[in-house]
Amino acid sequence: MPDPTQPSATPDFLQHDRPPVPDIVVPRGLQPFHLHAQPVRGRLIRLGPLADALLTRHDNHPSVTRLAGQTLALAAGLAGALKFRGSFSIQAKGNGPVPMLLADCTEGGALRGYARAEADRLESLLEEASMPEAGALLGSGYLAFTCDQGPEMDRYQGIVAIEGETLAEMTDHYFRTSEQLRTFVRLACDRTPAGWRASAFIMEKVAGEGGIDPSLDAEAQEEAWRTALALAGTLTDAEMLDDALPSPQLLHRLFHAEGLALDRPRSLSYGCRCSRSRLAGVLQGFPEDDLDHMAEDGRITMTCEFCNLDFRFDRAEVRGSAGRA
């Protein structure tokens, strides 16, 4: 099979093949749960080796890689709470050393993401802190949560100003201000002896109806939520990133006395959706003069920001917007 990143005799618009990227699936990457008859539900996300495959596509400083890994796990966790067809994305734009942060996950668990860092500004920040948190890396700006179900459906998007030192705090701020939803979010990402690992724990207080013990009044429901918060607060990064500790076992440690019920787990996979055909379509939207400026030695190179692969196109084969009938 020819390399889809390189020119070939096959027309570009017919080349939909997956580029040479890792083929990794984590069968139980997302484990939903709820507490029987209590107003508590949540999800535990463990990316396992998928985190290393996604994060090592870019040579970023560990602090940036850590933030990107947290965002990937968070995107998978929030997508797992929705019933949709399409993609769910988290995007942060700020004025800090990492002006762009993006992760998205499809309804099938295909995950991708990247963080764009400005080397000079990041170096200055690292003189003050060796592992800066999300607030320092992103600066002032906004955080957007988007559910895109295709051109025939309205796109839902929630946007909130970046507030908080960590990505978990920023997410909690979004849910409190935009969704009026009480949540507990813990994110972890670090390089372990087995490679980069990333995890997210997301817990929500649901409305007092549907599956909740009718004998629980508002005060009893609040007490159940406080108990769940206290137990979730004992969770450690080491536990979240331990490949040898299965998600059901970890959740059992936390909630075995609170009526823990596990729902059907979901798989997560390496999900960059770039292709030669898609990038060729993007090139065709440029004017001919712009394409001429983009070409070097008769070729145009486009880099996928997610998988960091270079796709090369013969300039003579690319017809821009001014060159189409």
CATH number (domain holding residue 186)? 3.55.30.10
User: Is 22 contained in some domain?
Assistant: no
The per-residue pLDDT for 322 is: 64
Mean pLDDT taken over the chain: 90
Question: Which residues form the domain of 133?
Answer: 28-270
Going by pLDDT thresholds of 50, 70 and 90, the confidence category of residue 274 is confident
The per-residue pLDDT for 215 is: 67
Going by pLDDT thresholds of 50, 70 and 90, the confidence category of residue 208 is low
User: Is 23 contained in some domain?
Assistant: no
Say yes or no to pLDDT of 323 above 60. no
pTM: 0.89
Q: Are residues 156 and 292 in the same domain?
A: no
Domain count, the chain: 2
Which of 270, 290, 314 represents a domain boundary (last residue)?
Answer: 270
Say yes or no to pLDDT of 314 above 60. yes
Q: Are residues 169 and 295 in the same domain?
A: no
Q: How far apart are CA 315 and CA 321, in angstroms?
A: 14
Cβ–Cβ under 8 Å, residues 109 and 76: yes
User: Is 121 contained in some domain?
Assistant: yes
Cβ–Cβ under 8 Å, residues 135 and 166: yes
The per-residue pLDDT for 325 is: 43
Q: Are residues 257 and 291 in the same domain?
A: no
User: Is 2 contained in some domain?
Assistant: no
Q: Are residues 250 and 280 in the same domain?
A: no
Two structure tokens written together for 279: 């990038």
Say yes or no to pLDDT of 212 above 70. no
Residue 108's identity, in one-letter code, is: G
Two structure tokens written together for 215: 């004998």
Q: Are residues 199 and 307 in the same domain?
A: no
Which of 247, 270, 293 represents a domain boundary (last residue)?
Answer: 270
Two structure tokens written together for 132: 């800066």
Going by pLDDT thresholds of 50, 70 and 90, the confidence category of residue 95 is very high
- CA proximity to 251, closest of 66, 51, 45: 45
Cβ–Cβ under 8 Å, residues 37 and 203: no
Q: How far apart are CA 16 and CA 316, in angstroms?
A: 21
Half-sphere exposure of 283 (CA within 13 A, CB side): 28
Q: How far, in Å, are 108, 203, 227 from residue 102 at the CA level?
A: 18, 22, 34
Q: How far apart are CA 276 and CA 287, in angstroms?
A: 19
Please give the full DSSP string across 58-72, using - where no structure is assigned.
S---HHHHHHHHHHH
User: CA angle at residue 237 from 127 to 43, to 5 degrees?
Assistant: 125
Which backbone phi and psi does 41 adopt, to 5 degrees? -140, 160
Say yes or no to pLDDT of 210 above 60. no
Two structure tokens written together for 298: 């008769």
CATH number (domain holding residue 316)? 3.90.1280.10
Q: Whole-angstrom distance between the N-terminal and C-terminal Cα of the chain? A: 32
